[in-house]
Amino acid sequence: MTRYAGTLAKLVTVPDAIEWRRAHRGTVVFTNGVFDLLHTGHVEYLEAARAAGSALLVAVNTDASARSLDKGSGRPYVPAADRARLVAGLAAVDRVVLFSEPTPLALIQALSPDVLVKGGDYIRETVVGADWVESHGGTVLLIPLVPGQSTTSLVERIRGSS
Compute the half-sphere exposure of residue 132: CA atoms within 13 Å on the CB side of its CA: 15
Residues 113-152 pLDDT 10s: 999 999 988 999 999 999 999 999 999 999 998 776 666 6
Residue 3 burial (CB < 10 Å; 0-12/13-18/19+)? exposed
Q: Which of 102, 105, 103 has the alpha carbon at shortest distance from 131?
A: 105
Residues 128 and 41: their CA atoms lie apart, in Å, by 21
- Arithmetic mean of pLDDT over the chain: 90
Residues 117 and 126: their CA atoms lie apart, in Å, by 12
Cβ-proximal residues to 41 (8 Å cutoff; 6+ apart), any chain = 145, 146, 149, 150
The helix/strand/coil state of 150 is coil
- pLDDT, residue 154, reads 67
Domains of the chain with CATH codes: 5-159 (3.40.50.620)
Q: Which of 101, 93, 100, 97 has the alpha carbon at shortest distance from 111?
A: 97
Is 15:97 a contact under the CB 8 Å cutoff? no
Asked if omega into 76 is within 30° of 0 (cis), the reply is yes
Residues 44-65 pLDDT 10s: 999 999 999 999 999 999 998 9
pTM of the model: 0.89
> In the chain, which ranges are continuous DSSP H helix?
5-8, 14-23, 40-50, 63-67, 80-88, 105-111, 130-135, 151-159
- pLDDT, residue 84, reads 97
